[in-house]
Amino acid sequence: MSPHTIAAMHAVVHHHRAPPPHRCSRGGVRAVRASAATVPTTSAGAAAATDSPSAAFWDYNLLFRSQRAECRDPVPLRVAEGAIPPDFPAGTYYLAGPGMFADDHGSTVHPLDGHGYLRAFRFGGGGARYSARYVETAAKREEHDAGGASWRFTHRGPFSVLQGGARVGNVKVMKNVANTSVLRWGGRVLCLWEGGEPYELHPRTLETLGPFDILGDGAAPADGSGGDAAAHHRRRRPWLQEAGIDVAARLLRPVLSGVFRMPARRLLAHYKIDPERNRLLMVACNAEDMLLPRSNFTFYEFDADFALVQKREFVVPDHLMIHDWTFTDSHYVLLGNRIKLDVPGSLLALTGTHPMIAALAVDPSRQSTPVYLLPRSPEAEAGGRDWSVPVEAPPQMWSMHVGNAFEEPDARGGTTVRLHMSGCSYQWFHFHRMFGYNWMNKKLDPAFMNVAKGREWLPRLVQVSMDLDKGGACRGCSVRRLSDQWTRPADFPAINPSFANRRNRFVYAGAASGSRRFLPFFPFDSVVKVDVSDGSARLWSAAGRKFVGEPVFVPTGGREEDDGYVLLVEYAVSDHRCHLVVLDARKIGERNAVVAKLEVPKHLTFPMGFHGFWADE
SS3 (DSSP) at 72: strand
Under 8 Å CB-to-CB from 52, ≥6 apart: which residues? 20, 518
The answer to whether the bond into 523 is cis (omega within 30° of 0) is: yes
Q: Are strands 279-286 and 272-274 parallel, antiparallel or unpaired?
A: antiparallel
Q: Give the torsion through C-alpha atoms of 126, 573, 63, 543, to 10 deg.
A: 80
| Measured distance CA(332)–CA(327) in Å, rounded | 4
Chain centre to alpha carbon of residue 533: 26
Report residue 89: phi and psi, to 5°.
Answer: -70, 155
What are the two backbone dihedrals, phi and then psi, of residue 504, each rounded to the nearest 5 degrees?
Answer: -120, 155
Q: Distance of CA 438 to CAs 66, 108, 112, 336, 433, Å? A: 17, 9, 13, 27, 7
**Any binding-site annotation on 144?**
no
**DSSP symbol at 193:** -
E-assigned strand segments in 429-551: 437-438, 443-444, 460-468, 474-481, 490-494, 506-511, 526-531, 536-541, 547-548
Asked whether residue 401 is marked as a ligand-binding residue, the answer is: yes
Q: Which of 204, 212, 148, 147 is nearest to 176 (CA)?
A: 212
232 is in an annotated binding site: yes
First to last CA, the chain: 46
Ramachandran angles phi, psi of 32, nearest 5° = -105, 125
Omega within 30 of 0 (cis) for the link into 493: no
97: Cα separation from own chain's centroid: 10
Instruction: State the Cα–Cα distance between residues 134 and 118, nearest whole angstrom.
Output: 6
Tell whether the torsion through CA atoms of 485, 337, 194 and 175 is positive or negative.
Answer: negative
155 annotated ligand binder: no
Binding residues for Fe cation are 232, 323, 401, 611
Binding residues are 232, 323, 401, 611
